[in-house]
Every structure is written in C-alpha cells, then in structure tokens.
Structure 1
Amino acid sequence: MMLTYESYLNVRGPKDVLEHIKLVWASTWSDAAILYRNEILVCDAVDPNMTFVVPVASAIVERRGGMLIHGAIIAREYGLPCVTGIPDADKIIHTGCQITVDGYLGIVTINTGSA
C-alpha cells in the first residue's frame, strides 16, 4: 500500500528511510520518551515540548501538517525526512510496521513483506 500526499505539505528530506516505527502522540510525554534511535516518529504533530525526541528519530510522519509546522521545521534543521499532512497515519501505520519515508517526494510506503 502506498500513501501519496503531494501538495505544499511536502517537506524535503535528504534520503529514504526504512526503519521500524513507534507511534508517539504529541500529548503523551511518556510515550515520546520510549522512542528509540532509528525509529520513525509517527504522531499527530510534533509539539515544541517533544523537540528532545526528534534527534533520536530517523524520520517523522505527521497527521497534521504543513511546511511551517514545528515538526517540519525541526526535521529540516536535523536533516531528517519528514512527511506531513497524512490524516490517517495513526490508523494505518502501527507500531512495528516497516515503512519507507521519502521526504523529498512526500511519499510514505508501508512495506507489507510480500514481493
């Protein structure tokens, strides 16, 4: 399955990233604290209080978004791929899924494991 949201919401990232993801909600500090290195941060939106989690993540996928949303700006500063504006991200992407995040094209691909 491939999700494509190409509009002004796309934010550039340096490369594709394939890693495990963990759902982290902006309002839950305890969940944000358990994000491990090389995992993809999938959230409603990166809150300024969650900025400490961003350097640990390998990419960011946000449900809400735009080029000027806090998460996109922070991701750009850290050189992380970031795709924003995927309204069903929290319903489609689950903890343990393998996904590819292409921040340049604004594409999130869920790898199903079948060739």
Structure 2
Amino acid sequence: MTLISIFVGLLSAFFLFASSIKIFGWQKFIFDTQLTMFIKYGLNRQIMMLVGLAELFGAVAIWFQGSVFGTLGALALLGTSIGAVGCHLIWDTWQEGVPAMITGILSAVVVWS
C-alpha cells in the first residue's frame, strides 16, 4: 500500500502542475509549447483547458483511494495519459510520449489497486 501512496503522490503533484499550466497559462514557455502541440494535433485552447480540468479533477480525486472518487480520479489521469500517448505516436515521435507512458502506467497501477 505504501507504493500506491507514492504513486498517488507523484501523479497528483505532476498533474496539479500540468493542469495549472493548461488552465491558467502561468508558465509561459511550457504553456506556449503545449498550446503549439495541441494546435498541431488539430485541437484548440478550449480543448486544452478541458484536458487541464480533467487532469485537475484526477489529481485531486486520486487522493480518495477506497472510494469511487479515487478510482474515477485515477481513470481520468489514465485517460488523459492514453490520449497524450496517442497524439504523440501519431504526430510526434514515441520519445516525446515517454512521460505520458509513465503516467499512464502509474495511473493504471493505481486503478488496478
């Protein structure tokens, strides 16, 4: 159970950071880089914000392990990770999808537990 708690903490920290940038755009370099990728994928700023909101929900809800919210949070993070991996595999190189692959694996482990 300690390993799952570590995974939850890592996922929550990563996705709180990532979602805050997608929602508020407070870190200009990362925001501009991500927005450029979203546009390359045929998506717009509004979709980027929706992804950020899904990540924010997942990053908060994942702490409620043992309840339906914890599972839904981990599934939200798994879904955004799978979507990111797909976009990177289609439009980028697989290497750019490695962080999403890692968060996807961690999310899947949390969902499974």
Please classify the TM superposition score into its range, dividing by the shorter chain length: under 0.3
Instruction: Specify which structure has the higher proportion of strand.
Output: 1
The structure, 1 or 2, with the larger RCO (C-alpha pairs under 8 Å, 6+ apart) is 1
Q: Rg: which structure is higher? A: 2
Instruction: Specify which structure has the higher proportion of helix.
Output: 2
When normalised by structure 2's length, the TM-score is: 0.25
